[in-house]
Amino acid sequence: MIPTIPYLQGLFAHFNAQFFGGELPDVPILLSHAKSYVARCEYKRRRLLFGREQRYGFCIRFSTRLDLPEPEVEDTLIHEMIHLWIMYKRIPDTSTHGRVFRQWMNDINTRYGRHIRISHKLTKEDSALLTDAQPRKPRIVALVSMKDGRRGIKVLPRVERRLKEYRKGVLSSGKVAEVRFFLSDHPFFGRYPSSAALRVYFPPEADIDAALAGAWDLC
Ligand SMILES: [Zn+2]
């Protein structure tokens, strides 16, 4: 099925009550034609005084490129709702799909017989549909927020261990406030070498934002 917004909103309200005690905010659910993700949870941030940060503009996006079986649409939505819970409640986690995320996922799966997964396993046909005729290469991009307010990027190999090492490495410099990972097929990132080197590049922030606009937030 290709989900519609009212359908997803109905599911959201249902799962919010069932799994999250109705505590999740009613966020907009938007459809996209993205090739790089099935669904994702997004938010914006504003820097406040004293290094604090406000999170706002939460939303969940669903790509309409894939015709998924209904249970998979549901599980995908719940997956994003777990992200929303963690982001909204500002719960620290060990990684994008870290300990807290997995705990939620396993708990809902066990108690309610669901099959939420960490990543959406795409079949070959799914991938072909999502990636278009001209294949674009998805890259893992680290978005590095410096303590001095600048934001930089680094393209990394698609190996989870390398991502963890990179995050740990740059954080240990003492100059980095946060590292988030995105999956992006934007050609902009093709200009940067993909390696595990502990480097950060600082292109104009507007370019970073524009290139990451369609990216899949891996947190
Ligand atoms: Zn996720």
Query: 119 CA to middle of ligand 1, Å?
Result: 7
Task: Report residue 154: phi and psi, to 5°.
Answer: -155, 130
Query: 118 CA to middle of ligand 1, Å?
Result: 6
Query: 51 CA to middle of ligand 1, Å?
Result: 27
Domains of the chain, each with CATH number or no CATH? 5-130 (3.30.2010.10), 139-217 (no CATH)
Query: 88 CA to middle of ligand 1, Å?
Result: 15
Give the C-alpha separation, 123 to 135, whole Å.
16
Instruction: Output the tens digit of pLDDT for each of the chain's 219 residues.
Output: 889 999 999 999 999 999 999 999 999 999 988 877 889 999 888 888 888 888 889 999 999 888 888 999 999 999 999 999 999 999 999 988 899 999 999 999 999 999 999 876 566 666 665 654 444 678 899 999 999 999 999 999 988 899 999 999 999 999 999 999 998 888 788 878 889 899 999 988 888 888 888 788 886
Whether the CB-CB separation of 194 and 156 falls below 8 Å is answered with yes
Query: 120 CA to middle of ligand 1, Å?
Result: 9
Query: 69 CA to middle of ligand 1, Å?
Result: 19
Q: What is the pTM of this model?
A: 0.58
